[in-house]
Structure 1
Amino acid sequence: MEERISLSHGSGGKQTNNLINDLFIKYFNNEIISEMNDSAQISLDGSKRIAVTTDSFVVNPIFFNGGDIGKLAVCGTVNDLAMSGAKPLYLTSAFIIEEGFEIEKLEMIVKSMADAAEEAKIQIVAGDTKVVEKGGVDGVFINTSGIGTIYENTNIKAYNAMAGDVVIVNGTLGDHGMTIMCQRSGIDIEGELKSDCAPLNSLVDSMLEVCSDIHVLRDATRGGVAAVLNEIAEMSKVSIELDESSIPISEEVKGSCELLGLDPLYIANEGKLCCFVSEAYANQVLEAMKKHSLGANAAIIGRVIEQVPQKVYLKTIIGGKRIVDMPSGQQLPRIC
């Protein structure tokens, strides 16, 4: 049977990685793209290093508690730049709009983008608009590209994790994914389940002010923390051991995951990062994160260890230990 694209190819797990490595890298491969960072790190004519990234947003629903597709587009692109240790400066934005889409809704989305850009202190400097026949897209899709300058004396790469590093996250996990899932399904969770969608560049600035020797930064979007940590373990050729009791998860996310039989480690985030830094600087970085509004619930959740096979392991609350695999199959499509 002829192989075709499925929704699982867009969920951020094994199928996504296979598609990237077996198809796109096969034809586009070069020393820059092969590093597989959230942003390409390049130099122009020997000048200051810059970071370049691009992303597309097809989230469903378009409006959700805590944001919308416009805010998500700006924050997602800004965050990819920040994960390279870059100062985001400029964004471009392209809209693919379905015939019949309400102008009022489009204005709400554009205003949301402008507000998010102002919060992140970046400018949207170019764009494009296409309109397709009804049914050609689901409302509106947005593509963005971003450019930023990389801070000096930093070397943040996905393959830089090393034994002895501490793994830090800046807050509760799974908020965005569970907000989208519950809103789609009409599930009413007690409390306030809200997307964590936010630009993380100012938080990263605070972290780099106290420690320029951060080894890895990644935002845990599609596939959640499980996908990101497996990618880092594979690229850095290390193992990562997590402590379940230290992982911050809100009661709303815990409740909804228990109801639906899901693991918060595999649920998408849009305002959470994973930081790998040597133990010597861990407390300084953690303290700086906690002083920032987007890091108030920051926590050390694990360590990089020398263990074979190179996997992500979880020390459970009851004293056991299990492997946290790369997510596989259809997790939650159109999450961003």
Structure 2
Amino acid sequence: MSNAADEATVLERIERVRAHGDKLKDEFVTLAHGAGGKASAQLVEQVFVAEYGNDTLNEMTDAGVMGLAALAAAAGTSLSGGEQLAFSTDSYVVNPIFFPGGSIGDLAVNGTVNDLSVSGAVPYGISAAFVIEEGLEIDVLRRVVADMHRAADRAGVKIVTGDTKVVAKGAADKLFITTAGVGIVPASVALRAGAVSVGDAILVSGPIADHGMAVMLARGDLALAAPIETDSKPVNGLTRALLEAAPQTRWMRDATRGGLGTVLNELAKTSGKGVAVYEEKLVVREMTRGACDILGIDPLYVANEGMFVAVVPADEAEAALSAVKALPGGEEAALVGKIVAEPASAVVMVTGFGGTRMVDMLVGDPLPRIC
């Protein structure tokens, strides 16, 4: 049977289910929804496929099959032999699953899109696997799936394949999601820590520490309230603009777990160069800084989910900054430091008073389960 026929069959079955009333009537997820039978089919077709079905997902095969030419076209290029496939995967166990400005659903999509983007890739397709605790409300699952759909549309990617498993009550915490993504790295892009040079500029695409603090306060364990929202968003538009404006960009990373301080330490150790960051150049929103101060947490080590750091040549730094600031989500980008020769393999913070202090690698995790 052709792919077109397969797709038509799936769509006809879904429409038949809707028309004849054989609908998902359960209010809560049960173990039957993970058994692979009729209940499983109803859950998949009426929650997942009905929400973000597309030509690839609608085929309902064991793997989403995508043409390489389509992937290359999404990257704005044609296959010439120099392109590379980028492939990333991540799991999301954030608690709570809804928090100010986002949810585990959009976080899962944004996280994978961003991992691909800072690798220099143009993201194209995503898979999504769900581990669902028995007893989760179906309406809650629908909300999460809808958030994923909106996030995918915003990033311009497709959710092309997936899987669901249901575990007994108490064997998980509501819902865990694992995503994987693929994209094409254009032949002109080559990002690696070994390419950084003394004098290169360090660009940060926005304020730091918002996501970690938003999730921490949403848990309600602290006698502290503040209107802090996650920064979770896709950065692929920003990274693409930066690479166009600064084609010799050396390196990029999204500063998620461990925050900006940890990512810069990884860069210093991998490159063998020093990293100098200017405290007064870092952007931390007032509410976020205040919450960090009260809790005794350094914003440098708090996770971000919609911010990236890049190293660009000094002569391309202003063009890169202007390109990022011109786009939604990049308005507060800043050049915050530079690559230095000494101290080698270390990060130093230059304070507002002209002094310096060492910024070490994060030890332990002050904010577990923030992604």
Residue 116 of structure 1 corresponds to 151
* Counterpart-to-counterpart distance in 2, 1:297 and 1:48: 32
Alignment partner of 2:135: what SS?
A: coil
TM-score by length of 1: 0.84
Aligned: 1:159 with 2:194:
yes
Residue 315 of structure 1 corresponds to 350
Residue 259 of structure 1 corresponds to 294
CA contact (8 A) 2:114 2:235 kept: yes
Q: Which moved more, 1:303-312 or 1:289-298?
A: 303-312
TM-score by length of 2: 0.77
Alignment partner of 2:195: what SS?
A: coil
* Counterpart-to-counterpart distance in 2, 1:212 and 1:324: 29
- 1:206 pairs, out of 241, 247, 251, with 241
Alignment partner of 1:159: what SS?
A: helix
Residue 109 of structure 2 corresponds to 74
* Counterpart-to-counterpart distance in 2, 1:99 and 1:133: 5
How far apart are 1:319 and its partner, in Å?
Answer: 2.4
Residue 306 of structure 1 corresponds to 341
- 1:146 pairs, out of 181, 196, 199, with 181
Aligned: 1:93 with 2:101:
no
* Counterpart-to-counterpart distance in 2, 1:292 and 1:45: 30
* Counterpart-to-counterpart distance in 1, 2:348 and 2:186: 33
Q: Which amino acid aligns with 2:89?
A: T
CA contact (8 A) 2:113 2:234 kept: yes
How far apart are 1:210 and its partner, in Å?
Answer: 1.3
Q: How does 1:176-255 map to 2 (within 5 A)?
A: 176-184=211-219, 185-190=221-226, 192-255=227-290
Residue 23 of structure 1 corresponds to none
Q: Which amino acid aligns with 1:182?
A: L
Name stretches of at least 5 consecutive residues in structure 1 with no aligned partner: 1-43
- 1:276 pairs, out of 301, 311, 314, with 311
**Percent of counterpart pairs with the same letter?**
43
How far apart are 1:45 and its partner, in Å?
Answer: 12
Q: Which amino acid aligns with 1:206?
A: A
* Counterpart-to-counterpart distance in 1, 2:148 and 2:370: 18
Alignment partner of 1:327: what SS?
A: coil
Residue 133 of structure 1 corresponds to 168
Residue 50 of structure 1 corresponds to 85
Q: Which amino acid aligns with 2:353?
A: I
* Counterpart-to-counterpart distance in 2, 1:309 and 1:78: 32
Aligned: 1:170 with 2:233:
no
* Counterpart-to-counterpart distance in 2, 1:45 and 1:69: 38
* Counterpart-to-counterpart distance in 1, 2:245 and 2:195: 19
CA contact (8 A) 1:189 1:252 kept: no
- Larger Cα-atom Rg: 2
How far apart are 1:47 and its partner, in Å?
Answer: 6.7
Q: Which amino acid aligns with 1:96?
A: V
CA contact (8 A) 2:271 2:345 kept: no
Residue 25 of structure 1 corresponds to none
Distance 1:47 1:206, change over 3 A: closer
Please state which structure has a larger fraction of its residues in strand: 1
Matched length: 292
How far apart are 1:198 and its partner, in Å?
Answer: 0.1
Residue 3 of structure 1 corresponds to none
**Alignment RMSD, CA only?**
1.5
CA contact (8 A) 2:193 2:271 kept: yes
* Counterpart-to-counterpart distance in 1, 2:198 and 2:170: 51
